Amino acid sequence: MSTVLAHKPLGYRAASAGFALAAFAALALADLHVASLDPWADLRRLLAGLMRPDFASVLPLSIAYTIAFAVLGVGLGAGAGFLLAIPFARSRAVRLFCASLRAVHELFWALLLMQIFGLSATTGLLAIALPYAGICAKVFSEIIEEADLAALRVLPPGTGAVSAFLYARLPDVAANLRHYTLYRFECGLRSTLVLGFIGLPTMGFHLESAFRQGRYGEAAALLAVFYGLIGTRRLWVRPATLPFLAVASLLVLPATVGTTDIGAGLARFLTHSIVPAPLREGALADPATWTGLWAWFAPILTGQIVPGALQTLVLAQIALVVTALGALVLFPLTARRFTGPLGRPLGRILLVVVRSTPEYMLAYLLLQLLGPSMLPTILALAIHNAGIVGYLMGRHADGLAYRLDAPKGLNLYAYETLPRLYGQFLAYLLYRWELILREGAILGLLGVATLGFYVDAAISELRIDVAVVLIAATVILTLAVEALSRRLRARLRIATLPTRLSRPLTDAGEPA
Amino acid sequence: MPHPPIVLANASASYRGRTVFSGIDLTIRAGERVALLGRSGAGKSTLIGLIHGQAARDIALVPQAAALVRTLSVFHNVYMGRLDRRSTLHNLRTLVRPAKADVEAVRGVLARVDLGEALWARAGELSGGQQQRVSVARALYDGRPILLADEPVSALDRRQGAAILERLTEHHATVIVALHDVPLALAQTNRIVVLDAGGIVLDAPARDLDAGTLARFYEAAA
């Protein structure tokens, strides 16, 4: 039968097998033991607490802070992103700049910015605005490039660039830009929650202490409010409410706490803290300075960057494949043909809850239940991402035009739905790969030995120069995986399929 | 294989709120070979949907768009004609490693539509005419007694179309086929039903008709 297999359509199959094999190999390097003595007892206590949410304990001000950080952070980020999107397609330097901005996770930005601005509103805002500017610049630029140019070509010759943009381009793309920005706001809420885990006064801060001290009723109430905010986002974040939200956010933001002398803080950060230690005192012309620099860098490379990067890749690889399996199981839950009119809303609610829960918080929770190993982080990444990919696949599955006499159940799934959606499925997964990697590095802050673990250690030793080198290594790793993912998508001829959550779906889920 | 007659009594259908036709009465008995003619937009495909709703269990369907799964091989697309008659386990196994007997059966069916050599090609890589023949092969492999086909040979030339249609009619007890090629309909079927302006305007044995009589139903469109 081997001749039969040799003639089978290849490509998708080979790519999937390659990823599965890599994940299998990664399993050998991963520490997956359950360290907790009795995870089920912990889980029971957690669930019992979550069943009895204690809404009285939720501080309204923390909700206001959460919204304010998200509104202003995303607003700043999207505004800067729009300006950067204009030269984005033409300037390689701008593209690289934006790629570096978004390759550094919000939490890493926050840890660095804290060295300058202390634990302040500025830190929180910039930690969201900087990476979001990088993401928005890329996506806005894509939206503008994708727009229909027919109207632009028939403009009278001599039309000014601004008029041409306002008349022939912006109207076509404005809806998409607005849609994406509002969607980004939802991500902003999640980021804000996570920033609370490192000390900003958002709901995340209270959530972290509630979980840590076992006040599960309070945690349940906070989570319920948070899901409520995300679930009703379309109702209260609209173009009409934005000015009000922006002004209210400015008024409510907490006053700066911590450092007050920002100028001096910034100067010390740029000229002293992030400069590698051997360069601070040594003369640049002195060869001894450079051997000193290498002596400083070599142990970081061999003792932190290489093992940290390896663990990050291992984590991302396993999490990606578990995500894939999870999405394949979950997506029929939200597709009409598989669940019927009653089951589908329930499936959707499940997946919305799953994807609204930030990976970082899930990982934090699972680490408490299962003890420190790679297992909780893999589960957290896979649950969150499988929720997202499953939700999107379900929407595509509903968009498929089946023939009148299409089969049902598992036959429909295996012969019609999955083969038609498989290219789209791979496109989503390859796109999630770099996001899983970025997030996997961050989960090191919780104690798994990925790059974030070493960044956290360097910062707590106040060795900011080391932290910056490690973050730069994370950026390079992320960009490398992003480039690999782009190449693979081109090789599989799925580069043109939608990968953005906010993007309207095309009617057919297969390549033309 | 006998099957109960298909009876549409005072049937009506609408598409996006617009009535396509109403008050249709049509009975098709086992063994008949019926051609549905009419200008595009006359409601042929809608009528085919209604007929399918009447007797889905006995019908092998060739839909208008070939409706193939582009990422699967030709073999798997044809094999899908009998998914309902195999265990799900067997179907899943066939996706990975088809059984020799199934491969030979499908190869035989494909040979009847002159596609024997394309067994393992991806359906999406075939030309429009080839895809249409795969769709026909799926219905042949399906093998249920009533063949219901919506323009099954529109992408083929007349000679090839006639050959394919002939093979279709050989293997199914009853044939209902929407066509736009009048000579082909006269040659391959024994009953002609013409749809126009929301109703059946002609229903007669093919031997009583000729191309000239039927031409006026098309000319009215011009």
Q: What is the mean pLDDT of residues B31-40?
A: 88
Count the domains in chain B.
1
Judge: B91–A9 Cβ closer than 8 Å, yes or no: no
Strands B174-178 and B191-196: unpaired
Residue closest to A450 by CA, chosen among A356, A363, A362: A363
- Spatial separation of the C-alpha atoms in residues A379 and A96, rounded to whole Å: 32
Decide if B90 touches A, using CB distance below 8 A. Answer: no
Q: Do A35 and A76 sit in the same domain of this protein? A: no
Nearest by CB to B63, from A9, A404, A423: name it: A404
Domain for residue A2, yes or no? no
Supply angle C-alpha B173, A404, A343, rounded to 5: 140
Q: Do A344 and A473 sit in the same domain of this protein? A: yes
Decide if B8 touches A, using CB distance below 8 A. Answer: no
Q: Return the H-helix or E-strand segment holding B34.
A: strand B33-37
Q: What is the CATH number of the domain that holds B95?
A: 3.40.50.300
Domain for residue A509, yes or no? yes
pLDDT (0 to 100) of residue A501: 66
pLDDT (0 to 100) of residue A172: 74
pLDDT (0 to 100) of residue A260: 58
Q: Do A289 and A223 sit in the same domain of this protein? A: no
Count the domains in chain A.
2
Q: What is the pLDDT of residues B126-156, one digit of tens each?
A: 888 899 899 999 889 988 889 999 888 888 8
Domain for residue A19, yes or no? yes
| A409 min Cα distance to partner chain B (Å) | 9
Judge: A415–B49 Cβ closer than 8 Å, yes or no: no
Q: What is the CATH number of the domain that holds A196?
A: 1.10.3720.10
Domain for residue A5, yes or no? no
Q: Do A410 and A365 sit in the same domain of this protein? A: yes
Nearest by CB to B72, from A1, A409, A419: name it: A419
Domain extent for B200? 6-219
Q: What is the mean pLDDT of residues B104-110?
A: 93
Q: Do A432 and A292 sit in the same domain of this protein? A: yes
Domain for residue A265, yes or no? no
Q: Do A287 and A171 sit in the same domain of this protein? A: no
Judge: A407–B120 Cβ closer than 8 Å, yes or no: no
Domain for residue A392, yes or no? yes
Domain for residue B71, yes or no? yes
Domain for residue B1, yes or no? no
- Spatial separation of the C-alpha atoms in residues B222 and B216, rounded to whole Å: 10
Domain for residue B110, yes or no? yes
| B219 min Cα distance to partner chain A (Å) | 32
Domain for residue A212, yes or no? yes
Q: Do A322 and A180 sit in the same domain of this protein? A: no
Q: Do A146 and A18 sit in the same domain of this protein? A: no
Three-class SS state of B73: strand
* Chain A nearest-CA residue for B63: A403
Q: Do A282 and A221 sit in the same domain of this protein? A: no
Q: Do A234 and A297 sit in the same domain of this protein? A: no
Domain for residue B176, yes or no? yes
* Chain A nearest-CA residue for B84: A407
Domain for residue B42, yes or no? yes
The ipTM (two decimal places) reads 0.72
Domain for residue B21, yes or no? yes
Domain extent for A64? 56-258
Domain for residue A315, yes or no? yes
Q: How far is CA A4 from the centre of its chain?
A: 42
Q: Do A18 and A163 sit in the same domain of this protein? A: no
Judge: A414–B119 Cβ closer than 8 Å, yes or no: no
Q: Do A391 and A415 sit in the same domain of this protein? A: yes
Q: What DSSP character marks residue B7?
A: E
A149 and A122 Cβ atoms separated by less than 8 Å = no
Is residue B216 over pLDDT 80? no
Residue closest to A189 by CA, chosen among A355, A320, A57, A347: A355
Joined together, the tokens standing for residue A27 give 């399993």
| A402 min Cα distance to partner chain B (Å) | 7
DSSP string, B134-203: HHHHHHHHH--SEEEEESTTTTS-HHHHHHHHHHHHHH-SEEEEE-S-HHHHHHH-SEEEEEETTEEEEE
For B86, list phi and psi in degrees, rounded to 5.
-120, 160
Identify all chain A residues contacting B84, using CB atoms and an 8 Å cutoff. Answer: 407, 411
Q: Return the H-helix or E-strand segment holding A315.
A: helix A306-330
pLDDT (0 to 100) of residue B198: 75
- What average pLDDT values come out for chain A (512 residues) when binned by 10 residues? 40 88 89 76 83 86 92 94 89 92 92 86 92 94 78 66 72 83 90 90 91 88 90 85 89 65 76 80 79 88 92 95 94 84 80 84 88 90 92 87 83 90 91 92 90 92 90 93 90 77 48 33
Judge: B84–A411 Cβ closer than 8 Å, yes or no: yes
B84 and B172 Cβ atoms separated by less than 8 Å = no
Residue closest to A62 by CA, chosen among A242, A205, A241: A205
A456 vs A48, A190, A195, A446, A449, CA distance in Å? 33, 21, 14, 9, 11
pLDDT (0 to 100) of residue A1: 37
Local confidence band at B211 (pLDDT 50, 70, 90 cut-offs): confident
